[in-house]
Amino acid sequence: MTVNYKSVFDIIGPIMIGPSSSHTAGACAIGRAANSIFKDKPTEIVIHYYESFAQTHKGHGTDYAIISGVLGFDPDDSRVPYAIGLARDQGITITFIEEAGDSPIKHPNTAIVDLENDSKKVTVAGCSIGGGTIEIREIKMDGFDIKPKGPLPILLVQGGENDHQNVTKQLADLTKVNDQQRYQTARGNMYEYDLDRRLKHEEITKLAENHTTMVYL
């Protein structure tokens, strides 16, 4: 059994702007994940919707929610319903595509987010599994094609064996690592750690001190 709901606040919560936890708060969370990975301001956002997301995104406020996440808003931020206008005011081009086929990551609530600017491009495939909780099942960044199992939290660290040893040691004091993978390209390694529990803000900050390009989802 996959344990996606690790906290009581995944069930009683989140506090959010309506109307749908899967299609609004969850969409916001997928956008936020893409924002955490991109770590910069995009000039172009392309959202691909599949299945239930493709059929009902307009009615569920999925469009403004996912853009609000890309802008880094929390799901209960009062600016959430106005996110598309706010993004366009910043000169960001936004495209929504309703894909006809089945979800490539095999979930009815799927959104694939492409973020791009002059210096980089990332692709994040997420699905919203209910109650605002999401999974991230594919990330394309810096030449890496990362395919996590899905459940969060996920930690991504670029670097060498030393960095891996260092992170492993730090994580050992914090939580169990349920799964880990290494991805290799000519430019280096990417280490993925699937963590057993969500880290607290100060724990993430401490980890990031030695790994400035680290991504915590």
Q: Binding string, 22-51, against another protein, x = CB under 8 A?
A: xxxx-------------------------x
In 71-125, alpha helices (H): 83-89
Would you say the C-alpha torsion 125, 177, 216, 83 has a positive or negative sign?
positive
Q: 208: which residues sit within 8 A by CB, 6+ positions away?
A: 214, 216
Min dist CB 134 to another protein, Å, is: 11
Work out the widest C-alpha separation in the chain, in whole angstroms.
Answer: 49
Please name the amino acid found at residue 144.
F
- Using CB under 8 A, which of the segments 10-18, 37-45, 111-119, 179-187 binds another protein? 10-18
Interface residue with another protein, options 10, 74, 99, 116 (CB under 8 A): 10
Instruction: By CB under 8 A, tell whether 170 contacts another protein.
Output: no
How would DSSP label each residue in 42-78? -SEEEEEEEHHHHHHHHHHTHHHHHHHHHTT--TT-T
Min dist CB 174 to another protein, Å, is: 8
Kindly identify the residues of this chain, within the stretch 60-89, that bind another protein according to CB under 8 A. 60-61, 76, 81
Instruction: By CB under 8 A, tell whether 123 contacts another protein.
Output: no
Instruction: By CB under 8 A, tell whether 5 contacts another protein.
Output: yes
User: What is the side-by-side order of every strand in the sheet holding 215-216?
Assistant: 177-185, 188-195, 154-159, 215-216
Q: Binding string, 187-206, against another protein, x = CB under 8 A?
A: ---------xxx-x--x---
For 10, which DSSP code? G
Min dist CB 48 to another protein, Å, is: 16
- Using CB under 8 A, which of the segments 11-19, 66-74, 84-92, 141-149 binds another protein? 11-19
